[in-house]
């Protein structure tokens, strides 16, 4: 191949002994080194994400047709593994089709069984019986022994030592909200995806850049903002005590977005809705969702399951929809995201990839329910006690509200009094003094006079230094009480959030007070009329589903 035809060389070897890169640079050819072990170890997921991003960006940016050269030592296993990953994330095909595509272009293709198995496992596909791993090439087998019949190092090691592959044992792993989900992505890709979120939510990067989590945050209910329920039309839902994530769905993968505004890739499928209500040909691309990850404990078996409760949608296939009223976004969420996914899941053998297994995905997905205010008593007394995951109160959502990034003064949260909490940064100073910090205008603010007790903590206070801790208020002792470490957060609450929580604690809107207020509110004409209309509409919708 002539130099002028090459635009990018991706080197997957675990060594730098094969060639110098200076000649490539002189010819204007970009060289990317992604160091991958060879023997008995497939490339790690971060390396795969880097490879796919580099290839995608090169193809997107090139002005004239240039080629990409990918190589490991022999150009079969690591090279094939990476190229199959790229095909899976850029084309509409199954793992079997992608493996066949590569093997026809580079015979015999991937010949290591563990590489083949890893691809099927990663993409949650059942391996067809007809897929047979090709035998090790003759030239490879003949080099395994030296002239004395002794084993020689495998060139595909590239100076690496053998690594034992993990055995696939079923284990009873305890799931927690602190578990890190998904795989890291390249820094350039992270910045690009952050920028998309800011543009979608119509935010300016500002002086602090675009590193601040932009998701909508509720404010604590107090006696003043409680009156908003009388002025605007609200629906209610339970406040799940899980982990907050936004989710960005693209053709090349789904990305969980945590409270630190970091993105991690998870392997999930979200097919688009077909105009004829059947299974569509494509998948969502730049659809942005908001939700909460919870851990359900099934009542019969006590088995744990992760579930992502989606409660809002901010963009649909690149198109921002944040200015639409909430009830429209909520309905679109069901029609555009949940229904196509459920339809394909139940009709998988008619889909373009009948070998895909939804049950192997890292978590389940559902739309979160919202109810009329007239049902709040039932939600508190009957629904929440029967939930299979933790809940700590209620959320009141304006039915006609747009999506408001960051603090949304009209999005209200009510928590059980004992669970009203603040997230502090806890530190132990040089004089061994325990200190609690909040943020004010992006800087640490020492909260003089505030103390915390670690009553049920298994470790000494010193082990919490430098960490974000969630604390509840003990009104009798006038101290904060440690609840848990917030591993999903890298900064404490803002001072304004603290003031609103303290106002909510002082106002002490109990369950009884809340229910009495709501009973009065739903008698107002604006509520009574809409509740009657909405109730009829829901009855018709439920009847249609049953048919």
Average pLDDT of the chain is 89
Buried b (16+ CB within 10 A) or exposed e, 214-239: bbbbbbbbbeebbebbeeebbbbbbb
pLDDT of residue 443: 93
pLDDT tens digits, one per residue of 234-250 = 999 999 999 999 999 99
Share of the chain above pLDDT 90, in %: 71
User: Which tokens go with 444?
Assistant: 């640490």
Sorting pLDDT into bands at 50, 70 and 90, what band is 62?
confident
Share of the chain above pLDDT 70, in %: 90
In this structure, the strands spanning 304-316 and 364-367 are parallel
Lowest mean pLDDT among 46-50, 271-275, 394-398, 422-426: 271-275
Q: What is the mean pLDDT of residues 291-320?
A: 95
Sorting pLDDT into bands at 50, 70 and 90, what band is 530?
confident
Lowest mean pLDDT among 58-67, 119-128, 233-242, 273-282: 273-282
Residue 261 zone, left/alpha/beta (φ > 0; ψ -120 to 50; rest):
left
Residue 531 pLDDT > 60, yes or no?
yes
239 is catalytic: yes
Residue 155 pLDDT > 80, yes or no?
no
Buried b (16+ CB within 10 A) or exposed e, 271-289: bbbeeeeebbeebbebbbb
pLDDT of residue 275: 55
pLDDT of residue 159: 43
pLDDT of residue 547: 56
Phi, psi of 406 (to 5 degrees): 60, -140
pLDDT of residue 51: 98
End-to-end CA distance of the chain: 63
List, as residue ranges, the binding site: 244, 259, 290-292, 413-415, 484-489
pLDDT of residue 169: 43
Q: How far apart are CA 78 and CA 80, in angstroms?
A: 5
Residue 40 pLDDT > 80, yes or no?
no
Which residue's structure tokens are 């090709």? 134
Q: What is the mean pLDDT of residues 143-150?
A: 44
Cβ neighbours for 95, distance < 8 A, ≥ 6 positions apart: 84, 88, 119, 120, 123, 125, 127, 355
Cβ burial of 410 (10 Å; 0-12, 13-18, 19+) is middle
pLDDT of residue 147: 39
Q: How far apart are CA 215 and CA 246, in angstroms?
A: 7
Residue 336's SS3 state is helix
112 is catalytic: no
Q: What is the DSSP letter of 387?
A: -
Closest CA to 255 of 200, 332, 308: 308
Residue 273 pLDDT > 70, yes or no?
yes
CB 39 within 8 A of CB 157: yes
Closest CA to 111 of 78, 83, 88, 89: 78
pLDDT of residue 279: 44
Residue-range domains of the chain with CATH:
3-140 (3.90.190.10), 187-415+524-546 (3.30.470.30), 419-507 (2.40.50.140)
Residue 242's SS3 state is coil
pLDDT tens digits, one per residue of 391-447 = 999 999 999 999 999 999 999 999 988 889 999 999 999 889 999 999 999 899 999
Lowest mean pLDDT among 68-72, 76-80, 191-195, 342-346: 342-346
Residue 146 pLDDT > 50, yes or no?
no
Q: How far apart are CA 387 and CA 271, in angstroms?
A: 29
pLDDT of residue 418: 84
For helices 77-90 and 95-105, give the axis angle rounded to 10 degrees. Answer: 130
Highest mean pLDDT: which of 109-118, 342-351, 535-544?
Answer: 109-118
Catalytic entry in 239, 272, 368, 471:
239
pLDDT of residue 168: 45
Rounded CA Rg of the chain: 27
pLDDT of residue 2: 54
Residue 162 pLDDT > 70, yes or no?
no
List, as residue ranges, the binding site for GTP: 244, 259, 290-292, 413-415, 484-489
Residue 546 pLDDT > 80, yes or no?
no
Q: What is the mean pLDDT of residues 271-287?
A: 73
pLDDT of residue 161: 43
pLDDT of residue 26: 87
Return the half-sphere exposure (C-beta side, CA atoms, 13 A cut-off) of residue 119.
Answer: 30
Q: How far apart are CA 294 and CA 310, in angstroms?
A: 11
Lowest mean pLDDT among 133-147, 231-245, 280-294, 316-330: 133-147
CB 428 within 8 A of CB 461: yes
pLDDT of residue 281: 60
Residue 499 pLDDT > 80, yes or no?
yes
User: Which tokens go with 474?
Assistant: 């003990």
**Is the pLDDT higher at 145 or at 82?**
82
Lowest mean pLDDT among 240-249, 334-343, 535-544: 535-544
């Amino acid at each position: 191949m002539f130099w002028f035809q090459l635009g990018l060389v991706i080197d997957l070897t675990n060594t730098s002994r094969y060639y110098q890169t200076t000649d490539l640079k002189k010819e204007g050819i970009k060289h990317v080194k992604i160091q991958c072990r060879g023997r008995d170890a497939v490339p790690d997921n971060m390396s795969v994400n880097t490879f796919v991003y580099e290839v995608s960006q090169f193809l997107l940016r090139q002005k004239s047709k240039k080629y990409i050269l990918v190589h490991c030592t022999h150009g079969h296993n690591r090279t094939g593994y990476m190229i199959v990953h790229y095909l899976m994330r850029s084309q509409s095909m199954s793992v079997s089709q992608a493996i066949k595509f590569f093997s026809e272009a580079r015979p015999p293709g991937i010949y290591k069984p563990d590489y083949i198995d890893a691809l099927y496992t990663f993409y949650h596909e059942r391996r067809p019986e007809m897929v047979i791993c090709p035998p090790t090439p003759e030239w490879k087998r003949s080099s395994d022994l030296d002239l004395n019949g002794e084993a020689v190092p495998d060139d595909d090691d590239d100076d690496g030592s053998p690594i034992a592959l993990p055995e696939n044992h079923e284990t009873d792993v305890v799931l927690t909200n602190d578990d890190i989900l998904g795989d890291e992505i390249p820094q350039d890709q992270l910045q690009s995806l952050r920028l998309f979120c800011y543009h979608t939510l119509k935010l300016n990067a500002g002086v602090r850049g675009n590193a601040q989590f932009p998701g909508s945050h509720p404010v604590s209910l107090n006696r003043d903002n409680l009156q908003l329920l009388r002025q605007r039309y609200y629906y209610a839902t339970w406040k799940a005590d899980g982990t907050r994530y936004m989710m960005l769905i693209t053709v090349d993968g789904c990305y969980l977005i945590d409270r630190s505004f970091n993105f991690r890739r998870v392997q999930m499928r979200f097919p688009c809705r077909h105009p004829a209500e059947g299974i569509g040909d494509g998948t969502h691309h730049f659809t942005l969702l908001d939700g909460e990850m919870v851990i359900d404990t099934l009542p019969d078996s006590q088995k744990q399951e992760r579930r992502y409760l989606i409660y809002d949608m901010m963009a649909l296939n690149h198109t921002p929809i944040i200015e639409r009223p909430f009830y429209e976004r909520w309905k679109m969420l069901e029609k555009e995201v949940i229904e196509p996914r459920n339809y394909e899941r139940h009709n998988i053998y008619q889909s373009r990839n009948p070998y895909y297994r939804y049950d192997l995905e890292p978590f389940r997905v559902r739309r979160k329910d919202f109810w009329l205010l007239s049902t709040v008593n039932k939600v508190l007394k009957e629904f929440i006690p029967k939930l299979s995951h933790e809940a700590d109160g209620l959320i009141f959502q304006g039915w006609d509200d747009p999506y408001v990034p960051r603090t949304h003064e009209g999005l209200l949260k009510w928590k059980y009094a004992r669970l009203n909490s603040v997230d502090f940064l806890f530190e132990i100073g040089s004089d061994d003094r325990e200190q609690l910090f909040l943020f004010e205008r992006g800087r640490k603010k020492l909260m003089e006079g505030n103390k915390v007790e670690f009553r049920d903590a298994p470790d000494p206070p010193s082990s919490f230094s430098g960490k974000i801790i969630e604390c509840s208020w003990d009104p009798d002792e006038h101290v904060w009480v440690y609840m848990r470490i917030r591993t999903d957060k890298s900064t404490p609450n803002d001072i304004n959030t603290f003031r609103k929580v303290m106002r909510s604690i002082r106002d002490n809107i109990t369950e009884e007070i809340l229910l009495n207020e709501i009973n009065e509110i739903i008698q107002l004409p604006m509520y009574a009329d809409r509740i009657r209309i909405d109730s009829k509409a829901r009855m018709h919708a439920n009847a249609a589903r049953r048919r």
